[in-house]
Chain A
Amino acid sequence: MKESSGSSGLRTYVLTRLALALLTVLILLTVVFLLMRVAPGDPITAALGARLPAKELEKRKKEAGYDKPILQQYGEYLGQVVTLDLGESVTDNRSVTSILAENGTATLELTLAAFTITLLVGIPLGLLAGRYRDGPWDIGGRLYGIVIYAFPVFFLGFLFQLLASQVGWPTSGRASPIVEFDLNKVTHFYLIDTLIQGDLNAFWDVVQHLFLPALVLGLTISGVLIRLIRVNLLQTMRGDYVEAARARGVSERRVVVNHAFRNAMVPVVTVAGLQFAILLGGAVLTEETFNWPGIGSELVRYLNQRDYVAVQGIVTVFAIAVVAVSLLIDLINAFIDPRVRYR
């Protein structure tokens, strides 16, 4: 049976996007590799530069293979990525896979919690701001959106830490030290692990520790969402179908919630997906502020130590995650809106 031109167009679109995604990842990997080699310093000099003579340092660098031709190192690196063997960190001999499993889940847990807060705060406030244009909700929502976005995440973090410290709320880490030790880390998502363990006290301890960083990160991003939903809602409220609904006597509440809001959310889904990348970036600063043992804070640490292997491994996964999410959004959009794939 002959394929319809619609499915053929979609297939071409998907294949093109996949090819572009692979190219994007390759460019990212190459840039990371080159930047790590071009930047001054190496892991051995960073660790022992002020203790060992230059001759001994050179000997150690040679033994570690840092004097290999750069193309050879690049080839080995790409080979590792393809075979999903990201190697072991130079500075503390941890496998990159275990770094991603242990610290990556911490970041994911924080990011998901923050994203939930973003949605819980951003959607209602954006909706109210759009619905009651130029009213107190609108002015308040817009003001909040600008102010909260203007606050650097670490500043907001320190502010919240000081406030939380006054009332005895935990200000750093994923859990209390003893809870952390007692926890059987099955999934490395502490919320889930404490529930699997059936330890509600530990669960509450983890919730307490998660709340503050998630709130700070979530609020920071919520400002963008509010403004986006507001603008989209205002546009859709001017649509013919909304007028038609009103003319049919549909209540204003139903017009907003069932008609205007749903349509206003379509572009928001796209942007919300892209916020994932921003959240990952924001998580680095949040993790540093709240001593959250996520992949972001580990990345900073390894960068400071010039640990090529760990940095490359972490950034590779970051890059693939962001590209994958972008690809997913493109594909969802193409499925939802046929105009996208014919452009």
Chain B
Amino acid sequence: MTKVRSLLVLGAMLAAALVIAACGSDSSSSDSGGTIIRGTTDQPISYDPAGAYDLPSYDGTYSFYQNLLTIEPGGNKAVPEAAESCDFTDKDNKVFECTLRDGLKFSDGSDLTAEDVVFSFERNVKIADPNGASSLLANMKSIEAKGDGTVVFNLKQPDATWPLLLTAGSFGIVPSDVYPADKLQPSDQVVGSGRYTLADYQPGQQTVMEKNDSYDGADPAKNDRVIIQYFDKASALKLAVQDGDVDIAYRSLSPTDIDSLDGADGLSVISGNGTEIRYLVFNTKLQPGDNDAQKLAIRQAVAQTIDRQSIADNVYNGTVQPLYSMIPQGVEFANQGFSDKYGEAPDVNAAKQTLADAGVDTPVPLEVWWTPSHYGAASGDEYAEIKRQLDESGLFDVTLKSTEWNQYSTAAFTDKYPTYQLGWFPDYPDADDYTSPFYLPDSFLNIHYNNAEMNKLIGQEKSSADPQVRQQAFDRIGEIGAEDAPTIPIWQADQVAAVRDGVHGVEETFDPSFIFRFWLISKDQ
């Protein structure tokens, strides 16, 4: 009897606690009104710039730190951020000098000096973190401070892309008296001079950033606090924005989710210019074809047969744009090499002629590899559509094969796959970042493509700061890229977010730089 009574009392206490709690649930939030909550399926790797080489980490590094140079919203050129000015000081474009703005301070109150800049770059190279971007600094011979306010980069080779490279989220400036010189700073102990300070970081759960009141640069934050809430699945993210648990859902909703959210009550779908691309890669050693001429004809015929518009409309519901060059639209010096050569619409008759001229027997057996989750759930539909298009032309007999990214990322670049799917987002928004990684002989693609004129042109565009010289070089690179077609561009993605009503400014941050500028976003109170 005593036991029963005890249980009843315990039950009553629990019920009372729940009732009391429930009654007060309307005021459960301590939101001051200035908090922006963004949901995402992207998880950061490190908030130390030396360990960051991925978009979700950049979300933090661009917010916590200042770079010497940055990209203005909507722009595609490097402009000063922590620097007052930066420029090459020699005619060879090998010495790059930056003068710092006066009065820069870190969030711990210490001064930001040229020594901190030198320290930041030197430790990035020294740490060479496996997940970091130290390899981007391979052309840096040395860096030195001239007094408190000037920094000089000495480069090994002329490099006109250097200013844009300095805008990457891997090159934020860290305090030399706080960050270790030989290892990464823990991600929950951030000290920077950017628009936000880190209030809390729970890996896999949330990052909380608060406005840095000591920041006195351009565009101070329009909100008091930002919470980045992490989701494992796009479906959970979609529900969260629908239910109002998050203000913004960005990266990565599926095309179907975006379609169903478009027009839903209380939110709108916002899209803007994006420079993430998808393309098809040919390993010129493994691909079908008895000789180089036949191999070239097969690549060209594929380029002539693929209907990019159909993929954009039917697979991605218009959330991507057909891509006719490896350099996407929105990036300076973009071109339309493939449509100039082959036209925008598929031309099966021309493809047939191309194959016939090279003496290729049809249908050409084509083994195409793709990976199911790394590039989004729609990859399966995309490659089913590509197979349908190529098979229906009667010129190809496509066999689709897929494997998960871990195996894929090893096999694709070690001469295992003759033709395969790949994607790219920029390290820095320069056309060079869309050409030299793919077309040079030492490309990570390892596809055995080597064109002497292409190599020379890439050298030219990289070393010249003259826009005219670079324009001419990239135009010709576009022509050769379409002619040789070792890679075939398929589409470029718009940046798409589902945004709750009353949240403003998301559209302003969508530009080729891929910088998600939380500071531009505000919410109606």
Is A176's CB within 8 Å of the partner chain B?
yes
Is A193's CB within 8 Å of the partner chain B?
no
Q: Which A20-56 residues sit within 8 Å CB-CB of chain B?
A: 39-56
**Once the chains bind, are A204 and B410 in contact (CB under 8 Å)?**
no
Name the CB-closest residue of B to A64: B130
Q: What 13 new A-B contacts, CB under 8 Å, besides A46-B406, A174-B205, A289-B233?
A: A40-B410, A45-B410, A53-B442, A53-B446, A56-B444, A103-B204, A165-B243, A170-B243, A173-B245, A181-B227, A204-B25, A288-B232, A304-B405
Chain A residues in 8 Å Cβ range of B202: 102, 180, 293
Name the CB-closest residue of B to A91: B45
**Once the chains bind, are A52 and B444 in contact (CB under 8 Å)?**
yes
Q: Which B22-46 residues sit within 8 Å CB-CB of chain A?
A: 22, 24-25, 27-31, 35, 37, 43-46
Is B379's CB within 8 Å of the partner chain A?
no
Binary interface encoding of chain B residues 381-416 relative to chain A, with 1 for a CB under 8 A from any of its CBs, else 0? 000000000000000000000001111011111100
**Once the chains bind, are A298 and B407 in contact (CB under 8 Å)?**
no
Known: A52-B135, A53-B442, A60-B130. A171 touches B205 (CB 8 A): no
Segment of A5-13, A69-77, A195-203, A332-340 engaged in the interface with chain B: A195-203
Binary interface encoding of chain B residues 148-191 relative to chain A, with 1 for a CB under 8 A from any of its CBs, else 0? 00000000000000000000000000000000000010110000
Is A315's CB within 8 Å of the partner chain B?
no
**Once the chains bind, are A297 and B204 in contact (CB under 8 Å)?**
yes
**Once the chains bind, are B236 and A207 in contact (CB under 8 Å)?**
no
Known: A46-B405, A50-B422. A180 touches B25 (CB 8 A): no
Complex-state Cα separation, A205 to B245, whole angstroms: 12
**Once the chains bind, are A48 and B131 in contact (CB under 8 Å)?**
yes
The residue from A174, A201, A291 contacting B28, defined by CB atoms under 8 A apart: A201
Is B79's CB within 8 Å of the partner chain A?
no
**Once the chains bind, are B53 and A48 in contact (CB under 8 Å)?**
yes
Q: Which B223-249 residues sit within 8 Å CB-CB of chain A?
A: 227, 229-233, 235-236, 239-240, 242-243, 245-246
**Once the chains bind, are B20 and A200 in contact (CB under 8 Å)?**
yes
Chain A residues in 8 Å Cβ range of B242: 165
**Which 6 pairs of residues, A with B, have the shortest CB-CB distance?**
A49-B409, A41-B406, A204-B21, A201-B28, A200-B21, A40-B407
Chain A residues in 8 Å Cβ range of B367: none
Binary interface encoding of chain B residues 421-435 relative to chain A, with 1 for a CB under 8 A from any of its CBs, else 0? 011100100000000
Complex-state Cα separation, A265 to B404, whole angstroms: 45
**Once the chains bind, are A41 and B407 in contact (CB under 8 Å)?**
yes
Chain B residues in 8 Å Cβ range of A180: 202, 205-206
The residue from B186, B229, B406, B446 contacting A306, defined by CB atoms under 8 A apart: B406
Binary interface encoding of chain A residues 291-303 relative to chain B, with 1 for a CB under 8 A from any of its CBs, else 0? 1010001101100
Is B199's CB within 8 Å of the partner chain A?
yes
Is A277's CB within 8 Å of the partner chain B?
no
**Once the chains bind, are B18 and A91 in contact (CB under 8 Å)?**
no
Chain B residues in 8 Å Cβ range of A288: 232-233
Is B350's CB within 8 Å of the partner chain A?
no
Chain A residues in 8 Å Cβ range of B43: 92, 301
On chain A, which size bracket covers the interface?
Answer: 35 or more
Is A172's CB within 8 Å of the partner chain B?
yes
Is B12's CB within 8 Å of the partner chain A?
no
Indicate the member of B229, B236, B407 with the most A CB atoms within 10 Å.
B236
Shortest A301–chain B CB gap in Å is 7
Chain B residues in 8 Å Cβ range of A170: 243, 245
The residue from A42, A50, A60, A202 contacting B423, defined by CB atoms under 8 A apart: A50
Shortest B228–chain A CB gap in Å is 9
Is A179's CB within 8 Å of the partner chain B?
yes
Complex-state Cα separation, A170 to B244, whole angstroms: 10
**Once the chains bind, are B187 and A173 in contact (CB under 8 Å)?**
no
Complex-state Cα separation, A56 to B136, whole angstroms: 11
Chain A residues in 8 Å Cβ range of B22: 204
Is A249's CB within 8 Å of the partner chain B?
no
Shortest A29–chain B CB gap in Å is 21
Is B503's CB within 8 Å of the partner chain A?
no
Shortest B368–chain A CB gap in Å is 17
**Once the chains bind, are B18 and A204 in contact (CB under 8 Å)?**
yes
Chain A residues in 8 Å Cβ range of B239: 161, 165, 171-172
Name the CB-closest residue of B to A103: B204
**Once the chains bind, are A179 and B29 in contact (CB under 8 Å)?**
yes
Is A90's CB within 8 Å of the partner chain B?
yes
Indicate the member of B130, B131, B229 with the most A CB atoms within 10 Å.
B130
Is B477's CB within 8 Å of the partner chain A?
no
23 contacts between A and B (CB under 8 A): A40-B407, A42-B410, A45-B410, A49-B413, A50-B444, A54-B444, A56-B135, A60-B130, A92-B45, A92-B46, A102-B203, A170-B243, A171-B239, A173-B245, A178-B29, A178-B35, A180-B205, A200-B20, A201-B24, A201-B25, A204-B24, A207-B21, A301-B204
The residue from A56, A93, A200, A205 contacting B186, defined by CB atoms under 8 A apart: A93
Chain B residues in 8 Å Cβ range of A174: 205
Chain A residues in 8 Å Cβ range of B405: 41, 46, 49, 304
Chain A residues in 8 Å Cβ range of B51: 93
**Once the chains bind, are B231 and A172 in contact (CB under 8 Å)?**
yes
Complex-state Cα separation, A178 to B444, whole angstroms: 43
Chain A residues in 8 Å Cβ range of B37: 177-178
Is B86's CB within 8 Å of the partner chain A?
no
Complex-state Cα separation, A300 to B404, whole angstroms: 13
Is B494's CB within 8 Å of the partner chain A?
no
Is B200's CB within 8 Å of the partner chain A?
yes
Is A276's CB within 8 Å of the partner chain B?
no
Complex-state Cα separation, A180 to B199, whole angstroms: 12
Is B377's CB within 8 Å of the partner chain A?
no
**Once the chains bind, are B208 and A181 in contact (CB under 8 Å)?**
yes
Binary interface encoding of chain B residues 238-281 relative to chain A, with 1 for a CB under 8 A from any of its CBs, else 0? 01101101100000000000000000000000000000000000
